[in-house]
Amino acid sequence: MDARHQPVLLAEVLEWLAPRDGGIYVDGNLGLGGHSAKILEMSAPHGRLVAFDWDAAAMAIARERLADFGDRVHFVRRNFAVISDTLAELGIAKVDGILLDLGLSSLQLDESGRGFTFKGSEPLDMRMDDRGGRTAADLLNTAGQDELADIFYYYGEERQARPIAARIVEARRSEPFVVTEQLVRVVEWAVPKRFHPKKIHVATKVFQALRIAVNGELENLARVLADGAGLLAPGGRFCIISFHSLEDRLVKQAFHDNPALRVLTRKPIVAGAAELAANPRARSAKLRVAEVGRGGND
């Protein structure tokens, strides 16, 4: 196992996804390949996996890691929002399971140099896919004050969204935002000390909100939630690991509202004490699972 990445809730994912020989599975967030490797092992010798990720650096590592599985794994450098289109292109009508791990990998947080973390000073990029689209710096330097406030409030659930947005607009008049250190300073300046959270950095929610906005994460999740059940064979399972309340609410509601799905996890599955001790980043992970009925919408 790559020391930089411990796949969260691995045992629980394998239990609920239940990979089997001959099955076809989708890993919508390949990352460094931790979940995928185990799915391929459990579905040997004939199981197949279609692995999606739009992060080129992560995919390069995963390709090397999964090389021994040969043509049992098909790599797709796209966002999971286009799973339906991609499976159609590959001639795959139905799959036996879909896994989405919506978290960032340790590689992205610690080594990408794209501004996902507020530690140190990195370019304010935040794009998962560096082939195009606006960066976090573009957004900070061009969006209106109200748009920025809405991004921080709705995507980051940041209660100080309006004063932070006002300070950003004021600060960029002097110099454009280029690196993460600038944004951290402005957020620290904008939020009164009495409102600084005790358990997380004051800029955490702003960084989360910007990343979600830059990558269209909630829109992409909504699309795959709408398409996913229709891609699953009878008995196929949809497993999603979310890391913040916005994602978890979307998943919970979509599973509940879809008549083709039977919810298997009434409450989200969370990491146990042993995993939390080994991997503190698992503390906010929540796994929800639903299944397509084997005989109608049961």
Question: Which tens digit of pLDDT belongs to each residue from 132-183?
Answer: 899 999 999 999 999 999 999 999 999 999 999 999 999 999 999 999 999 9
Give CA–CA dist 102/31, Å, rounded. Answer: 10
Confidence grade of residue 297 (pLDDT, cut at 50, 70, 90) = very low
Query: CB count, 10 Å around CB of 165?
Result: 25
Q: What is the mean pLDDT of the chain?
A: 93
Q: For tokens 């990195």, what's the residue?
A: 122
Using DSSP, state whether 135 is helix, strand or coil.
coil
Retrieve residue 132's tokens. Answer: 């195009």
Give the pLDDT of residue 114: 86
